[in-house]
Each structure stands twice: as C-alpha cells, then as structure tokens.
Structure 1
Amino acid sequence: MLAAIPLCATAQDLAQNASQEINGNASHAISQPYAPENSAPADGGQSQGSGQSAAGPAPAASSPQIPPQGLFTRLGHAYLEDWSPSPTATAAPEPTRRGTPAPLNSPPFPSADWPIGGTVVIGAPDYQTYPLMQAVNENKTRFKMYGWFDIGYNASTSDKGKYANAPAAYDVIPNSVQLDQAALYLERLPDTVQKDHFDWGFRFTSLYGLDYRYTTAYGDFSQQLLQKNNTYGYDPVMYYLDFYLPHIGQGTDVRVGRYISLPDIEAQLAPNNYTYSHSLLYTVDCYTQHGVNVTTKLSEHWTVQEGVSAGCEAAPWSKYAKLTGDACAGYTWTNGSNNLYFCANSLNSAKYAYNNISAYYLTYYHKINATWHTDTEAWYQYERDVPNLCYGLDPCISYGPNANIGANSGEITSPSLINGANGAQCNPLATHCYAPDYAIVNYLEHEWNNHHTSLTIRNEYVDDLRGQRTGTATKYSEHLVGLNYWVGSTITFRPELRLDHSYDKPAFDAPTGGAPSKTTQLTFAGDLIWHF
C-alpha cells in the first residue's frame, strides 16, 4: 500500500554528470603540468641545457576552481533538474526486477505495483530517489531520508460545525485551508531482487498535521486526540524492521513493529493515494497495527501472508490490546495485469474495545491497457457487544461521527462507552448489540501527458447498519472525479469534485453537540504535495 514518489532518473543522471564534470575540471586545474622537458618554447626560442626556455618555465594554464556548493544550492539544482531535465540527458537503465513486470507507471499513480500492506513488494527493486538525498549524496546509499508537505483546501455545502464534512475525510474541516501532513521518513529497504543472502531494512515515519486524527493508535500519543481533541497532532505512524529471507519460497519478508494494515486500495500517507480525500469505506476501517507479519512469495502467481498483532489502532502496551491474527492471500495472473487479493485482516472475538473490528476484504486489480486500469474492493466488518447509544430512546437520534471524542464525550450517556470508540444505534430495549457494516468501492484510472497526469473516477456504497463506524445508522453513496497533475516528480496537484449522500437519515453538517442535518454534501477540494 505504500509506495514512495521517485525523482526522475534523468535528474539524477544530470546531477551526477554535472558533478563529474566539475570534479574533472578541478582535478585538471590542480594537476596541469609545466611544458615537458625537451619541448619547444612557445616563443620559438631555443631550449637551454635544462630543457626549459630561455624565458624560464612556462606558467601553467589555469582555470578558475569552482567552489563547493552548499546543501541548499544542491537541493535547488535537484528540483530544477527534476522540473526541466536536459533534452540531451539519457535516462538511467531500468533496475533489475525479479518476477512479473510492474503493471503501472509511478508517477502519475501512487505505486508501480498493486498495493499490498505489511511487506515490501518481494522481487521489486528500490526505484526511489529523492531531491533531499540527491543533495546529500546523489542518492548513492541505501539509507534514505525524505518526505513531503501536504496542504489541502475545500469548499463545502456543509458549515455547521468545525468538522462538519465528516464522515468524509481527510478534508473534514469545511471551507478551509490546512496543513494535512508534514511527513518525514527514515528508511532502508531490503534487497529482495537477489536470492543469495539475508538482508534487512527499516522504516520510521513521523507525521504531523490534521490527518493524525485518522492514524492515531491508542497508547501512541493518543491523548492529543482522545483527551484534548487537538486539531493538529503528531503520530509516529510507522516504525518497523524488515527481515528478508531469500530461501523460503521465492522470498519471505518478516515485518516487526507498527505498520500499515494489510488490505486496501488506499493508504494514509498522501502520495500513496489516488485522491486527496478518502472513500468512506477506507475512512472507517483499520489503519495501522502493531505486530509481526510474515509475507511469502510462493510463486509468480501466489503470495500469502499471516501474522499476529495487538489489534487495530491499539499499541501492545495499551489496555485495549487484543491478540489478533491475520491471514491473506493474493493471486496474480496475465503477466501481472490482474491480481485478486483476499484478506482476513483482524481475527479475534471482535468484542467492543478501541477500534477492535473484525474485517474481511476482497480486492480485484485489473490493468485494462497501457493507460487504463480499475481497482475494486468489497468488505464486511463488525464489532460485538457495542454499547447502545439509543438505550431507552424511541425514536433513536443520530449522534454523528466522532460524537464521543474529547470534549464531546460527556454529552453521551451509555453503558461502557469507550472514549474515541463510537457506540451503536440499536433497539432501544438493548444495552448492547452486534454492529456490522459492509461496503464496496471502485476506482477507474486513466493516465496521459507522458505519465504526468491521471484521471480518477471513484464510486462507492456503504451500509453502516448500526452507525458504529460513521456515527449515523444509514446507507451512503459517494461519487468523485479527480485529477493528479505532476510537475516533474516532486510536486503534485490533486483537485477533485465529490458528492456524498446518505439515504436513511441526515449524516452530514452536524453542529457541535448536535445531530447531523444534511443528507447530501457537495465538496470541491484538493491539495498540493511538495516532496523532498
């Protein structure tokens, strides 16, 4: 599910060639010799016994030395070379890859491979270079430091509360501009192309911005959201080690730490997503897990995964940790153009706790031709014994998303309600109930403009039967048209137009402390991602 955004190969080649030219000239200026012995003087005079001219030794031809460039100057050149590569520069050779060819182009798409979480893509090389690392060491080491700033905006027909666009995400604050993400990655990827020796890797990702509201795990700085309800916050969204074992199957990756949950077309980190906002389906499922996950590539067709974690969005040291299993399998055919992926992402009792859902996914990826592809995902998920927000109320009212987070938690009286974990809207006579939801989403993608522009059409349907995931027990549809436009490979614009509708009751535009008042919401939104 994760893929980093590459700096174009021509930019790297240009920078390296320029560096070699500068270094060569400097070396030549330093070592330029006097005219050799027994050579004729430049003025045509006769050489003397010493072999030098009568006028004395000829001065060395000199060229001015180029002072070393500072880090920020080199960084600026890396951006300029990315945005306006020399027409005479030659692209770097394609890195070696083991297995089927990459189905997609990245950019303009988030990844060259179909998304898979909890692992590196076994057999795929490290395609990624970055402006910052180009400035530091010309991208010559396997250790990488990179990231981005993501600034978003939206204009919405909802305006009655600070987070009135919810349950839509991540443009949750209506009619605003905000810092969605400032992300910094430190990583080393294991080399999974080779099958000779053990290798290892790691990743540590820091995220600051509005979007921490969606990635927060209980026990990982979660007081920022669950106690203070801060608009902006910090989350160490990924910290893990990868151990690559080449002789198990066609290669096996063992991941230990906090990682993005295994299934999903979408991903939390901005460049890893087709669109600025996220589908309703993705907004309410499992984001991250703390645990151990083992991924084995059995053949060119089959990849299997199994693991254990502390549950969805719960740190192992927190009181809501639950021993949770996962089991997933992916089948690829037609030389990588089709992939079918089934995943039981969280297997435990699903008894109500902080985001303790059981979830089952089926995802299908299909490359139609060189410029079109489509992705479809369906799921069923649930929690058991969820406290009833409607206990003793007839009719039951809708409380809206995040109604029981932070300062609003005191407004809801229901038995055993956990701060930050929505209750359900059940039969008024029951104190607890079973709370399921199911959903399906489809992406249709097209690229053009020499891999610099893509079109996204997204349609989805969600039925939150008890309102436990979105805050309102209703059916939803969501329809989106969006663009991705790239300047080089380091700046991304993602405008979009989105229509949300709830069918059974209002679900949008909830005033603070009140029930939602709208069934339809239209938003024009977008963001700018600046990669470094």
Structure 2
Amino acid sequence: MIRVRIRSWRVMGFLKFQRFYSSMFILSAACFSVQASAQAVSVVSSDDTVAGSSVSGDASSATPDAPAPQRGFLTRLGHAYLDDWTSSSSTAPAAPAPERRGTPAPLNSPPFPSADWPIGGTVVIGAPDYNTYPLMTAINGAKSRIKTYGWFDIGYNASTSNQGKFANAPAAYDVIPNSIQLDQAALYFERLPDTVQKDHFDWGFRLTSLYGLDYRYTTAYGVFSQQLLKNNNTYGYDPVMYYLDFYLPHIGQGTDIRVGRYISLPDIEAQLAPNNYTYSHSLLYTVDCYTQHGVNVTTKLSDHWTVQGGVSGGCEAAPWTKYAKLTGNACAGYTWHTGGDNLYFCANSLNSAKYSYNNISAYYLTYYHKFNATWHTDTEAWYQYERDVPNLCYGLNPCISYGANANVGANAGEITGPSLITGANGAQCNPLATHCYAPDFAAVNYIEHEWNNHHTSLTIRNEFVNDLKGQRTGTATLYSEHMVGMNYWIGSTVTFRPELRLDHSYDKPAFDAPTNGAPTKTTQLTFAGDLIWHF
C-alpha cells in the first residue's frame, strides 16, 4: 500500500536520527567487546611452551617475542574498510569459497543484491552465510555467528514534478521531488541457521531496526503506526523484521520454519535498500504487500523443487489489531539448468479479501533466467484485488479523479466515504455504488549486466501497471515505467546507484499533485540515485 504524505527533511529529524543510531552503534560495540576480549587472550600449550616464542639451548636462553600492539576499535574498523576497498589488488591467494549444498549460486554479489534468486520467508536452504561486515571485523574479527551490521542510505532526485511535497508519487522511494533525503539507517542483529549441514537442528533470528523516510513503506498497523497514520512524521522508526528461524535438516532436503514479522514472500524487490537492483522501486512493488506477521514453513524437496506454506494476520496488520485477518499463503519454486532458471509461483494472501487495512488478495508468478556469466533477466507478473472497497466517488457525477492525492485526502479525513478506514485506500468506482470490487494487474521486467570484475552492473527496467479503480495508486489509470540505472561498488561496502526514469499515465494525469489538489501531469521524468554505506 502506498503512503505518500511527506514533509521536507528537517534538521530536527536528522538530529533525532543521529542520537538514535549513535546510541545503537555504541551498544552494538559494547555487546561484543567482552567476547572480543576473551578471544584475544593468549593460549599456552600443554607442554608449557609459549606460543610464538623462540627456544635455543637451555630454557633460560628463551627470549619471547614482543607482544603485538593492540589496535583500537576505530583503527580496526578503518582497516576493515581499507582491506575491503583494496582486496582486488592484493597478491594474496583468494580464500576458498564457503561450502554449499545444491546447485551453484547463479549470480555474483556484488554487484547484484544476492548470489541466489530471491525467495522470501526463509533463508536459502543449502547456501552458506557469505557475508562479512566491517563492524563485526572490528568487534571480534568476524568470528561469531551472532552478528550486528547495517547501513546508511542517502538518496537524491531531480524531477519534472514540483507542485507538492509528495509530487513524485506514486513513484517510490524517491517520493519528495528535487531533494536530498535520509532514506534508511538500518541496524541488524542476527544469527543465521547453518542449512548447509544435514546432521542436526539449528536455529537463527533477526531483529532489524529502520529509521528514515522509508519507514512509511514498511509501517504495519499496530506497530508504532501512529507515527505515520496519526502524526504523519516525515521520518520514523520501524522494527521492520523480528523473527526466529528453526532449521529441521531431516524433513526433505531441509526445512526452515520462520515465526515472527518478515518481508512478504514474493517479489524481485524488497524494502531494505541493499536488496534491490535500483534506488527507486517499480510501481508494481510499491503497491503490493510489504510485511506480514505469522508462521511460514519452507521445505527444499530436491535441487529442483522448493515449497512453502504458512499463515499470517494479513498484509501490514499486526495480529493483535482489529484489522488482522487470518490469511494463508502457498508458494512453490522450480529450478533447472543447474540453477540458471527459476520459476516461482506464490499465492501470497489467501482470504476473503474483504476491505480492511491493506487486505489484498494477491497471486504472483516470477521467472528468473541466466543467459551467461554476465547477463540475466527477472520477470514478474501479478493480479491482486480487494472486495467491498468504499467508493470515493459515491454520489459524484461525473466521478472526480482525485489522482495521486485521493488516498492522502482520504487518510487525512479530507475525503470521506462509507466505512472508510483511516490509512487504508478507497476506490474510484461508479458514482451510484457505495462499494466496489477493486482489482489491479501488473508486469515488470529487469535486464541485468555486470562487468568491471563484479563491481559494476547495468539495470534496464520496464513495467506496466493497470490500477483499474485507483485503489492502489490513487488514480484509476494504466501506467508504464521505464528506467535505466547503474550500480557501482567500492569493494563490498559502498554502493552508488544513479538512474534515469520515465513514468507515464495513459488515461488521466497521475503525477505532480499540489496539496489537496488533483495531479496535473501524465508524464514524469526523474534523475535520481543513492549512496549506501555499509557497516
């Protein structure tokens, strides 16, 4: 569900962000300092010879080597970045690849978001934990399975839309035109289960804290949602993921049970900045399900088949709220050509789809194909809908097109309709109907190419979205979006993603809406980009 009311970036918001994440960063270091100290203690062998000493003649002539000077935390952190940025020119042999079970990883990461085709609601069963992080290297030499890491993501854009503070909508996440924004400051605590082995039970967890402009695209009703739905803060905090993973190795080729709040299962894209090819998101991804609270079971049946099933409280509705709906999901993925092709079908939200807070019913089909070592493509199509949606045009003849501002006005109480839920979108239907069926369908394709020794990639994205009743975007129209972008990596810790994007609405204006006014443009051109600094 798109949320588009936005204020300009204020100094006070940035100061709050600084205080919040400075304290979280210090706490992270403190949590691991004891472990790091314990690992630094010298070990004496059982024959009483000091490790690293040189012995010549009798024992009295032994002269131990001088102890290596201890580097401070900030020095270790700085060296972690320098080693990452200069490792490609090192003459030292490359470290052996981690052990992996199943088909080979189809992609290189970097420059792509992950080495495996995306699958939600689970770890990739059979894949190792490939990642090391500068913060963990500085804390304890990256020797523990419990990790803390994150990033800062700052974005900018120049747009032909400029009449409103959210005038780029329904584009996301670069929704404030002609500005620089703190999109995300993210902090992770996690432990990944070891799914390469098939001998014993293992477990994992993740807690993800997100602060920034992008909280409005992850907020779930009942989880600090007053920041957006009541106060409409420009910047906000969201614990976007908190879950436990339980790995059962003897069910199929391995089974993962995830319990908690997780990113919804399908999609090429995800909310967290490094999980995407591009800075801005496709229209398709902007208007579908973001997160769910529930239980999801994923079983790898073979190197070809993976199946998933689960229950949740629905999209963006915490189970303890009145808008939660018992919702099922059923998904299956088939992989062939030694991992180079993957077809993934997912019925992500199975319930009555009766109007509630973002209670969409959605069906997805995604296809991934690797052409060769440097080219691949991703394609996704879906159909989704809500039933009995309040009609924002009831009693108006002809129906007034509120455009991208319609749902903003509805959320603020400026546009009313029968049974309209605060924060949930209405539809634009026949003026004689109080409620109506509100479907939409979409398709998006990515073409990806990498070069420069896995440090640079090209992205070409094309999509069409038909929002038949305007329930997802605010304008009942057909959209197209075309984008070309680039990813450039410095090592594996700094990412720069510039892009040029053209959006068009075919049936009526959908862009550049002034406050409390209808959109004025059918075409929008944006030049945008972001810088992600990983720690």
Alignment partner of 1:123: what SS?
coil
Q: Which residue of 2 aligns with 1:527?
A: 530
Letter in 2 for 1:82: D
Report how far residue 88 of structure 1 moved. Answer: 1.8
Q: Which residue of 1 aligns with 2:72?
A: 70
Task: Name which one, 1 or 2, has greater alpha-carbon Rg.
Answer: 1
Letter in 2 for 1:360: Y
Q: State the distance in 2 between where 1:347 and 1:337 align.
A: 30
Q: Are 2:205 and 1:202 aligned?
A: yes
Please give the residue correspondences for 1:458-497 in structure 2 after superposition, counting only pairs within 5 Å: 458-497=461-500
Task: List gaps (5 residues or longer) in structure 1.
Answer: 1-18, 39-56
Give the direction of change, closer, same or farther, for the CA distance of 1:31–1:229 in structure 2 (3 Å limit): same
Give the direction of change, closer, same or farther, for the CA distance of 1:387–1:468 in structure 2 (3 Å limit): same
Q: Which residue of 2 aligns with 1:419?
A: 422
Letter in 2 for 1:141: S
Alignment partner of 1:89: what SS?
coil
Q: 1:177-234, CA deviations, whole angstroms, 9 ceiling, x for partnerless residues?
A: 0100000010000011111111100000000000001000000000000001111000
Q: Which residue of 2 aligns with 1:184?
A: 187
Is contact 1:404-1:411 (8 Å) kept? no
Q: Are 2:525 and 1:513 aligned?
A: no
Letter in 2 for 1:298: L
Q: Are 2:309 and 1:268 aligned?
A: no
Q: State the distance in 1 between where 2:75 and 2:408 align.
A: 46
Find the partner of 1:350 among 353, 360, 370. Answer: 353
Q: Are 2:229 and 1:226 aligned?
A: yes
Task: List gaps (5 residues or longer) in structure 2.
Answer: 1-38
Q: How many residues align?
A: 491
Q: Which residue of 2 aligns with 1:373?
A: 376
Find the partner of 2:364 among 358, 361, 367. Answer: 361
Q: Are 2:214 and 1:211 aligned?
A: yes
Q: Which residue of 1 aligns with 2:31?
A: none
Is contact 1:252-1:297 (8 Å) kept? yes
Q: Which residue of 1 aligns with 2:107?
A: 104
Please give the residue correspondences for 1:44-443 in structure 2 after superposition, counting only pairs within 5 Å: 65-85=67-87, 87-401=90-404, 403-405=406-408, 409-443=412-446
Q: 1:294-340, CA deviations, whole angstroms, 9 ceiling, x for partnerless residues?
A: 00111111110000000000000111000000000111011100000
Letter in 1 for 2:210: L
Letter in 2 for 1:506: P
Alignment partner of 1:244: what SS?
strand
Is contact 1:406-1:420 (8 Å) kept? no
Q: State the distance in 2 between where 1:422 and 1:113 align.
A: 35
Is contact 1:242-1:256 (8 Å) kept? yes
Is contact 1:405-1:419 (8 Å) kept? no
Report how far residue 400 of structure 1 moved. Answer: 3.2
Alignment partner of 1:366: what SS?
strand
Is contact 1:227-1:407 (8 Å) kept? no
Give the direction of change, closer, same or farther, for the CA distance of 1:454–1:23 in structure 2 (3 Å limit): farther
Q: State the distance in 1 between where 2:169 and 2:117 align.
A: 29
Is contact 1:228-1:406 (8 Å) kept? no
Q: State the distance in 2 between where 1:402 and 1:435 align.
A: 18
Q: Which residue of 2 aligns with 1:41?
A: none
What RMSD, in angstroms, separates the aligned Cα atoms of the two structures? 2.1
Q: State the distance in 2 between where 1:284 and 1:261 align.
A: 13
Report how far residue 440 of structure 1 moved. Answer: 0.2
Identity %: 84
Letter in 2 for 1:329: A
Report how far residue 92 of structure 1 moved. Answer: 1.2
Give the direction of change, closer, same or farther, for the CA distance of 1:104–1:387 in structure 2 (3 Å limit): same
Is contact 2:218-2:238 (8 Å) kept? yes
Q: State the distance in 1 between where 2:488 and 2:400 align.
A: 43
Is contact 2:187-2:210 (8 Å) kept? yes
Q: State the distance in 1 between where 2:82 and 2:74 align.
A: 12
Report how far residue 397 of structure 1 moved. Answer: 2.0
Q: State the distance in 1 between where 2:391 and 2:161 align.
A: 28
Report how far residue 31 of structure 1 moved. Answer: 4.9
Letter in 1 for 2:237: Y
Is contact 1:338-1:365 (8 Å) kept? yes
Alignment partner of 1:380: what SS?
strand
Q: State the distance in 1 between where 2:519 and 2:320 align.
A: 36
Letter in 2 for 1:77: H
Q: State the distance in 2 between where 1:394 and 1:90 align.
A: 73
Q: Which residue of 2 aligns with 1:12?
A: none
